[in-house]
Chain A
Amino acid sequence: MIPVVEMRDITKVYGEGEAEVRAVDGVSLTVDPGEYVAIMGASGSGKSTLMNIIGALDVATTGTYRIDGVDIGDLDDDALSLVRNRRIGFIFQAFNLIPRMSAAANVELPLMYRGVRRGERRRKAIEALGKVGLADRSHHQPNELSGGQQQRVAVARALAMEPSLMLADEPTGNLDSRSTADVLDLLDDIHDEGKTIVIITHEDEVAARAGRVVTLHDGRIESDVPAGIR
Chain B
Amino acid sequence: MILIEALRSGWQAILANRLRSILTTLGIMIGVAAVIILVAFGQGASNSVTSSIQSLGSNLLTITPENPNRGGEIVNPSVQELTVDDAAALNDPIAAPDIAGAAPEKRAAVTCTIDDLSHSTQVVGTWPSYFSITNSPVASGAYFTNADELSGRRITVIGSTVAENLFPDSDPLGKRISCNGVPFTVVGVQQEKGASFTNPDDVIVAPLSAVENSLTGYGEVSLISVQATSPDTTDLAEAQAIAILDERHGTVEGTRDFEIFNQASLLETANTALGVFTALLGAVGAISLLVGGIGITNIMLVSVTERTREIGIRKAIGASRRFILLQFLLEATVLSVFGATAGLLVALLVSRVEIAGISPSVVPISVVGAYVISVAIGLFFGSYPAKRAASLRPIEALRHE
Contact = CB atoms under 8 A, between A and B. Distances in A.
Q: Do A and B come from one complex?
A: yes
Interface of A: 52, 55, 57-58, 77-78, 81-82, 84-86, 90, 92, 96-101, 105, 109-110, 112-115, 157, 161
Given A58-B395, A81-B315, 14 more contacts: A57-B398, A81-B319, A85-B318, A86-B318, A90-B317, A96-B309, A98-B310, A98-B313, A99-B310, A100-B12, A101-B12, A113-B318, A113-B323, A114-B318
Contacts of B310: 98-99
B316 interface: yes
Contacts of A96: 309, 312-313, 316, 398
Interface centre among B310, B315, B316, B394 (most CB of A within 10 A): B316
Nearest to B322: A78
Contacts of A82: 318, 320
A97 B309 CA distance: 10
Contact of A113 (B319, B394, B395): B319
Interface residues of B, number: 22
Given A58-B395, A100-B16, A85 B1 contact: no
Interface string B32-70: 000000000000000000000000000000000000000
Nearest to A95: B313
Contacts of A97: 313
Contacts, number: 59
Contact of B318 (A58, A81, A99): A81
15 contacts: A55-B316, A77-B321, A81-B318, A82-B320, A84-B316, A90-B317, A92-B398, A96-B313, A96-B398, A110-B317, A112-B5, A113-B314, A113-B318, A113-B323, A161-B317
Interface centre among A77, A81, A101 (most CB of B within 10 A): A81
A117 B318 CA distance: 16
Interface string B1-16: 1100100000010001
A57 B394 contact: yes
B389 to A, nearest CB: 13
Interface centre among A78, A101, A112 (most CB of B within 10 A): A112
B163 to A, nearest CB: 71
Contacts of A92: 398
